[in-house]
Amino acid sequence: MKTKYEWGKLVIKDRRMNKPQKESTSLRSVLETTEVDSLIEAAEIVEYDFSQNTSIKDLATIEAPEGLVIPRKPEADQAKESYKNEERKEFNLWKLNMNSLLGQKGTITPYERNLNVWRQLWFTLEESDLVVQIVDSRNPLLFYTEDLEKVAPTKRHLLLLNKADLLTEKQVQHWQAYFTERQVEHLFYSSVVASPLFATAESLLAEWASVGMVGMIGYPNVGKSSAINSFFKRKVVGTSIVPGKTKCIQTLQLESITLCDCPGLVFPSFVTHKQDLILNGILSLDQTREIKACLDVIIERLGIRTMCYVTGIRTFSNDSRKSLAENYLDAHKRDRGCIEEGKIIKAIVKEYLEGKIRYVHPPPDTDSVAFNENNHPVPDDFTVNTAVSYGWYAEEREKALPKEVKIPLSVLLSKKHYLKKGLERGFKKKPG
């Protein structure tokens, strides 16, 4: 028979085992999931019971709405539990739709999969009178999410093209014409350089003084925190080259203006290849292993002559057996003395992200070479031998040919001596 003490332990254990699990409120960004997570999400949509011994093949055939959209918030006019269930179900259905698009149309940015982070975006859209979407001017269409205007159609929307100092005057004018033609309210901004083409912090704050709540939304690493600091003329939010420095929503009071700073959020968007995720600062460089292909992309965009001029390489040789990137790395090792390719590539990619090595994506149907010709003007007297070299072939052929074996005279004499001695012994040998 159990004692009173043992019965007490059983009661406590039972309470712990049957305690209802609280929903996670973590704001940690989640950009990747496993196949098991996808299966559970699909099961939650159809309210599948895993305890029943039935087939789950139908989970892969759930129909999802089409289009590259952001998740919607469910209607609030329902009970708390039913609202939570509906919210989770709709969010999983949205993720299922994104996965299906990934298989059909190519590479999608690793969009945000944490529901709690999207809740902060919904809150920002609801509370803001003006929604400011901040994008990197070097690639506006990748960071610009047009669907935000459909989620909050009653709000005023402004596209703020940040880091505009990395663009030439001609490039700014091209993008101005593009967005003006599409009736998108936009402004170019730089927290570093002043220009008649750019809006200033003073002009923006004067315009927003009568607005009320201003919501600041954008991808990680587009300079949102730096822009906010420039408004205050002091550091009020942390900044870093690593994406996602802002972790949670925060409201900042500046005179009569209230800024609502939403954490950097990765919206779903199509990219040409996975290297674009790193070169646009969406994925952290230090958390990525395969970065060698990034160098191929940078050289393809700038051209090998411009690349050598910007990085100070003078001994480039275009070996036909290797790619341009491999030949560039060989020249870099000769000129700089660094033999670790990983360090070289990381340093180049960081300079690309910071804008020291400049490339600006052009508007659609615009020649990228002509659009970027004035980013790094190369002097006429700077020459790089980019002609394909086949000199290695003659060297390898010469190595493969049989060479005449030259035996030292001392060895030959010694062999003759011993051969003569052996013959003499044979002749002197008496017959048996």
pLDDT digits (tens, 9 = 90+) for 373-428: 999 999 988 888 877 777 666 667 777 666 666 666 666 556 555 565 555 555 55
> Assign residue 64 a region: left if phi > 0, alpha if psi is -120 to 50, beta otherwise?
beta
Inform me whether the pLDDT recorded for 109 exceeds 50. Answer: yes
Q: Which residue has the higher pLDDT, 108 or 45?
A: 108
Residues 118 and 187: their CA atoms lie apart, in Å, by 26
pLDDT digits (tens, 9 = 90+) for 327-375: 999 999 988 887 788 889 999 999 999 999 999 999 999 999 999 999 9
Q: Which positions ≥6 away from 62 have C-beta within 8 Å?
A: 42, 45, 46, 93, 96
Beta bridge partners of 38: none
Q: What percent of the chain has pLDDT over 70?
A: 73
| Mean pLDDT within 90-117 | 78
pLDDT digits (tens, 9 = 90+) for 142-173: 999 999 999 999 999 999 999 999 999 999 99
Identify the pLDDT of residue 349.
93
User: Which band of pLDDT confidence, cut at 50, 70 and 90, is reported for residue 215?
Assistant: very high
The distance in angstroms from the start CA to the end CA of the chain is 109
Q: What are the structural domains, with CATH classification, of the chain?
A: 43-103 (no CATH), 115-261 (3.40.50.300), 274-389 (no CATH)
Identify the pLDDT of residue 50.
39
Q: Which residue has the higher pLDDT, 391 or 246?
A: 391
Inform me whether the pLDDT recorded for 120 exceeds 80. Answer: yes
Identify the pLDDT of residue 355.
92
Average of per-residue pLDDT values in the chain: 79
Q: What are phi and psi of 329, to 5 degrees?
A: -65, -40
Inform me whether the pLDDT recorded for 17 exceeds 70. Answer: no
Q: Which two tokens mark 367?
A: 């020649």
Inform me whether the pLDDT recorded for 102 exceeds 90. Answer: no
Name which of 174, 133, 134 is nearest 364 in CA terms: 174
User: Which band of pLDDT confidence, cut at 50, 70 and 90, is reported for residue 81?
Assistant: confident
